[in-house]
Structures are given as C-alpha cells and as structure tokens.
Amino acid sequence: MTSESTKTVKTRFCIISDTHTAELWPSDDKSHAYRDPLPSADVLLHAGDITIAGYIHEYEPMFEMLSKADAELKIIIAGNHDVTLDEPYYEKTGKREFHRNIGEDLGVVREIWTGERAKKAGIVYLEEGVRTFTLSTGACFTIYSSPYQPEFCNFAFPYRRDEDRFNEHAQNPIPDHPKIDILLTHGPPAGILDQTRRGDKVGCEHLLRAVRRCRPRLHCFGHIHEGWGAQRNDWVEGGSVSLPVDRQHILNNRCAYVNISQDGGDNLTEGRSKPLTFGQETLFVNAAIMDVNYKPVNAPWTVDLDLPIGQHVES
C-alpha cells in the first residue's frame, strides 16, 4: 500500500533469530507457530545464531529454509554460535574450542552465504556496517548491522563489556538519526528484552546509548532467548510499552504481528497498531525462535511499517 501524500510505502518484515539449526515444524502442526512456511514478507531479517556450532552441515538446511521463504530480500547476520563466520576468531580459538582442531572449510562456509546460490535466492549476508536497499515496490531503507555482542563463554564475535563498539570512536559507529531506518544486531541493548531466567539484564550499555542517538524505526535482535517479545520506546516522552501477545492468534497466523504503519491504529491502547513516529519512537523486537532450553517454540515476528519511496535522503 502506497501513501502518495507522504511518499511512503507500507512494507512487511518477517523477523527471526536464534534458529540454531532448527528446521520448521510441519505445516499441519498447529501447536507451533514456527512452522512451514515462514510468513510472507517483503523483507526477511535473521538476527544471527543460525546454527549451534557453525558446522557446514548445520548451515545447509538453514540456507534451504531461507531460500524457500517468500520474501524479495532476505538479510542475514551471524551470531556468537556461528563460529565459522568469525574467521579470525575461528582460526585463533573457535577451531580448538568447538571442532577439536579438525576445522571446517571457511571458504565453503562463506560461499554458502555470499555465493551465486545465495544471490539467486535473494539472500544478503551482512557483516558490521551500513547498507541501503531499494525494493521493487520503491521502498528504500538503510540498515546498520552487527553480529557482535559482549563476550560470552568464549564464543564468536565478542567484545569486552567496557569496550564501546558502537559510538563516536568505534571502527564502525552507528550513525546518528535520521540516517538509519533499521538496526539489526545479534545482541540486545541494555534493559530492553535482555533479561535472563536468573533475572540478570545482560544487554549492552554502549549499544543502548547508540540506539538513543540513532532512533531507528525498528531494532531487531535475539541472543537472549528468554527475552523474546516486542517493546515500543518513546524517546521524547520517555515511556515504553511491552506489546501483549495473543497465543491463539500467533498459532493461527504462524507469527506475532505488529502494524505500525499509517493504516495501523485499530488498537491504540495496546501500542501494537499505533502508527510509529520516526525520530520519536523505536520498535524493539527480540525474535529468538529458541527458548532457554533450546526448543523452537517461539514465534517469528511480522511487522508492517512505512518506508520512504526512492532514494534514501540524509538530513
């Protein structure tokens, strides 16, 4: 749906993370939302932890699942479990820690996600940095992506908790508002959908500071399985709303759904369908498919939002 007056187009995102090699449940298994097929969307986002331990035989079924997904563009980042996609880490530590020094062929791993098969399937593998995409609808968005998270049990893509990876003096800092529409990181920002089952909030303070500067429309992540959910933050008023979910609706539709486009507004009190004001609000989504026991029981998220048409303009 296109809005001529504001020159935006309604765009649907399907968001998943932390699949850890879990294939979709059969289509007739109505007791699980994460079932075949994934919800249709314009853009599919995967926020990392594709696998358990970065083996080629783990990547292949995930590649096939994503290839079959009904989306024009499928954007993928790695997570801490995808040890063979962090090549310097793998050669120094990961091969010994996870693969008993036998090792996987890193060229084959890279080819899976960046080769001709991936291009034909609409799959784009992103590392840390900024990219701009234009869809066939004319919708244009700029995304900042990063697979890194505070060091965790000697896994891949680590940084020290006292290291600021995302602000002024970082190698790849997150740009200020309004340059970024979508943030896609593996780890969560501090205090937002980041609480473990022990009650610890383990998100990154530096990432939170960067998000406050950036004020994207949408910030997607995973990593903390227990944090699955969605939250709207208002940077001007200072409030936040955790979005309620209806389990039966999720099971029926194979996803949790949020409409923050201009035709949203049928359920303002819940914060689920109120149109989002870019620069004032951000929708945060923790899309971890696995629960804390590594069971694929969480649902994908589907989000409708408005994106500008044509060339992305920075101001």
pLDDT tens string for the chain (315 positions)?
444 445 999 999 999 999 999 999 999 999 999 999 999 999 999 999 999 999 999 999 999 999 999 999 999 999 999 999 999 999 999 999 999 878 999 999 999 999 999 999 999 999 999 999 999 999 999 999 999 999 988 999 999 999 999 999 999 999 999 999 999 999 999 999 999 999 999 999 999 999 999 999 999 999 999 999 999 999 999 999 999 999 999 999 999 999 999 987 544 444 456 899 999 999 999 999 999 999 999 999 999 999 999 865 443
The pLDDT value recorded for residue 274 is 82
pTM of the model: 0.95
176-188 burial, b for 16+ CB within 10 Å, e for fewer? ebbbbbbbbbbbb
In angstroms, the CA 55 to CA 217 distance is 34
How confident is the model at residue 272, as a pLDDT? 59
d(CA 137, CA 2): 9
Number of neighbours of residue 251 by Cβ within 10 angstroms: 16
Q: Which of 314, 250, 242 is nearest to 285 (CA)?
A: 242
CA distance 78 to 118: 15
| C-alpha distances in Å from residue 196, one per residue of 20, 191, 214, 236 | 18, 11, 26, 28
